[in-house]
């Protein structure tokens, strides 16, 4: 399968391409993805620029029809596309199918939102004057996405962008061209005018800066690593461009003495290791009070060691491979650093399976303190550490002692502590007796501190980013 770029309604040829490798079986090449140079990106920017005014003038019904068409097809093809996702990215088949379904639901949600576009009409403070506040599209938006949610993240950026009348350039991550291509292929048949949606695959470091700096691109929504995000924010600042960033996390899961042990273990197992820990909302720091500490670590280690790690497409596999060799080496090196700094490591070794892939046993590192590198830097793999604390107050202080602030969880049966934690955890999302990862699609997603920048994604809050407001005064 050749994945081509989609520009101005045409699937373009390129001379350069990148193989799409199955992380569960590196002998399985899914296809070859086009690698755009700056010329092809410029073509896409021009096409989007030309198409933007037409789509900005589209009716709510046209927008609904396009978004609903895409949502319906994603849901109908979730088994097939979920398989593609698992084969390409390495999360298990049920996780892959679940992600495609979520992408479909996101399109359905924004189809409905297109019909509910509203403004405000206010009385003026001056007599006889009317005031209207209306939302209008921004124009061309550049969407830069990572590999860990290869269809859901493009969906949660493209759907609101189109819902609110913008033209789109999607620059997906190099490791996952198949899902981006499949999504754009559906959009290409959805009734959208040519040029409203464009797909440009290529090296982020080569074409990314051009996308960010182009005067015709009015806003950038980015999900990815902290260094890339910071660079993009700086460039957007220079060009006075609207920007939205979702980056890393070092999410705490607090477990208090009064927690239901089974719930705490289940939530931590899910939060830390499901999707191979490759979620920015993963529970990477388990902050546990001393009365439950030993029982919790023992029970979690037992559950972790029983997880079936293997080929993402195989029945019964609970944890798929790491996405690639570079990420696997990074995970192993963090486990090594944690051990050298005094952590007690269980699991965390490279594994061999029938097919050659990037397999790794999940790792639990206990006896750590919050200053160790394993607790200050994002690993982005199936590695969780345990920090022992005295009481709730110390747990909260440790949970907040991080430069990140995406998601924070607490397991407790105390209403008092749960309420206090919800109010005082420095995070954009707080979970009580639930994993830090795994969120709904109709409410805002995002963080505080070093995790996020700009307005929130998803739910109705997405309108803040994808529109601008106009205030009109009339003397009738
Ligand atoms: P990760 O380590 O998870 O791959 P990155 O931040 O490197 O995270 O990549 C996230 C997305 O940003 C990818 O689509 C990548 O191609 C893109 N990207 C990488 N470098 C740049 C850059 N300098 N400018 C714009 N986008 C970039």
Tell me the C-alpha to C-alpha distance, in Å, between residue 180 and each of 87, 198, 385.
Answer: 14, 11, 33
CA-to-CA distance for 260 and 44, rounded, in angstroms?
Answer: 54
Residue 23 pLDDT: 98
Query: Virtual CA dihedral for 256, 259, 263, 264, nearest 10 degrees?
Result: 10
Residues with CB under 6 A from ligand 1: 144-147, 171-174, 204-205, 208-209, 212, 224-225, 228, 231-232
223 CA from centroid of ligand 1 (Å): 8
DSSP-assigned states of every residue in 90-103: ---HHHHHHHHHHH
282 CA from centroid of ligand 1 (Å): 20
DSSP code for 459: G
CA-to-CA distance for 138 and 154, rounded, in angstroms?
Answer: 18
Strands 350-351 and 359-360, sheet pairing: antiparallel
CATH architecture of 2-247+451-474: 3-Layer(aba) Sandwich (3.40)
Average pLDDT taken over every residue of the chain: 97
CA-to-CA distance for 331 and 381, rounded, in angstroms?
Answer: 6
Check: CB of residue 274 under 8 Å from CB of residue 437: yes
Q: Which of 297, 295, 289 is nearest to 410 (CA)?
A: 289
Q: What class does CATH assign to 251-432?
A: alpha beta
CA-to-CA distance for 318 and 244, rounded, in angstroms?
Answer: 33
3-state helix, strand, coil in the chain (%, to 5): 40, 25, 35
324 CA from centroid of ligand 1 (Å): 15
Domain with CATH 3.40.309.10 in the chain: 251-432
Q: Which of 341, 347, 337, 340 is nearest to 309 (CA)?
A: 347
CA-to-CA distance for 334 and 336, rounded, in angstroms?
Answer: 5
Low-confidence ranges of the chain (pLDDT < 50): none
Tokens of 422: 């919800």
Residue 446 pLDDT: 97
Q: Which of 228, 326, 378, 380 to mutate to test the pocket of ligand 1 (most atoms within 8 A of CB)?
A: 228
Residue 15 pLDDT: 84
Annotated catalytic residue: which of 246, 378, 426, 464? Answer: 246
Which protein residue has the closest C-alpha to ligand 1 atom 19? Answer: 204
Q: 3-state class of 275 per DSSP?
A: helix
280 CA from centroid of ligand 1 (Å): 15
Annotation says 393 is catalytic: no
Residue 74 pLDDT: 99
């Amino acid at each position: 399968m050749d994945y081509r770029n989609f520009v101005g309604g045409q699937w373009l040829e390129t001379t350069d391409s990148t193989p799409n490798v199955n992380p569960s079986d590196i002998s399985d090449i899914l296809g070859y993805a086009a690698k755009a140079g700056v010329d092809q990106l410029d073509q896409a920017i021009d096409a989007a620029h030309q198409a933007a005014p037409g789509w900005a003038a589209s009716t709510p019904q046209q927008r609904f029809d396009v978004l609903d068409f895409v949502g319906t097809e994603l849901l109908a093809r979730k088994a097939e596309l979920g398989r593609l996702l698992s084969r390409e990215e390495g999360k298990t088949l049920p996780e892959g199918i679940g992600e495609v379904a979520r992408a479909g639901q996101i399109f359905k949600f924004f189809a409905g939102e297109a019909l509910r576009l509203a403004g405000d009409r206010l009385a003026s403070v001056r007599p006889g004057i009317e005031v209207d506040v209306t939302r209008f599209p921004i124009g061309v938006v550049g969407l830069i996405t990572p590999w860990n949610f290869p269809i859901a993240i493009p969906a949660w950026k493209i759907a609101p962008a189109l819902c609110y009348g913008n033209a789109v350039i999607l620059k997906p991550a190099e490791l996952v061209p198949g899902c981006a291509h499949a999504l754009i292929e559906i959009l290409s048949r959805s009734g959208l005018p040519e040029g409203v949606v464009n797909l440009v695959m290529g090296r982020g470091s080569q074409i990314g800066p051009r996308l960010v700096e182009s005067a015709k691109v009015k806003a950038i929504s980015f999900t990815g690593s902290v260094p890339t995000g910071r660079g993009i924010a700086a460039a957007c600042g220079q060009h006075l461009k609207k920007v939205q960033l979702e980056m890393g996390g070092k999410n705490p899961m607090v477990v208090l003495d009064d927690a239901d042990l089974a719930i705490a273990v289940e939530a931590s197992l899910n939060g830390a290791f499901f999707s191979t820990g490759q979620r920015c909302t993963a529970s990477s720091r388990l902050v546990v009070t001393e009365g439950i500490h030993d029982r919790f670590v023992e029970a979690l280690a037992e559950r972790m060691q029983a997880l079936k790690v293997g080929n993402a497409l195989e029945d019964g596999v609970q944890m798929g491979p790491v996405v690639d060799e570079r990420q696997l080496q990074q995970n192993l090196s963090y486990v090594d650093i944690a051990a050298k700094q005094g952590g007690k490591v269980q699991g965390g070794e490279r594994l061999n399976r029938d097919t050659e892939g990037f397999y790794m046993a999940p790792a639990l590192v206990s006896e750590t303190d919050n200053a160790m590198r394993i607790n200050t830097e994002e690993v982005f793999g199936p590695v969780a550490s345990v920090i022992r604390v005295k009481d709730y107050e110390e747990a909260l202080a440790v949970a907040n002692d991080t430069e990140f602030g995406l998601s924070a969880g607490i397991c407790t049966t105390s209403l008092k502590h749960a309420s206090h934690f919800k109010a005082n955890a420095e995070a954009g999302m707080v979970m009580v007796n639930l994993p830090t990862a795994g969120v709904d699609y109709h409410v805002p997603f995002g963080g505080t501190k070093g995790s996020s920048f700009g307005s929130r994604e998803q739910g109705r809050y997405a309108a803040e980013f994808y529109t601008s407001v106009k205030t009109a005064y009339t003397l009738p």
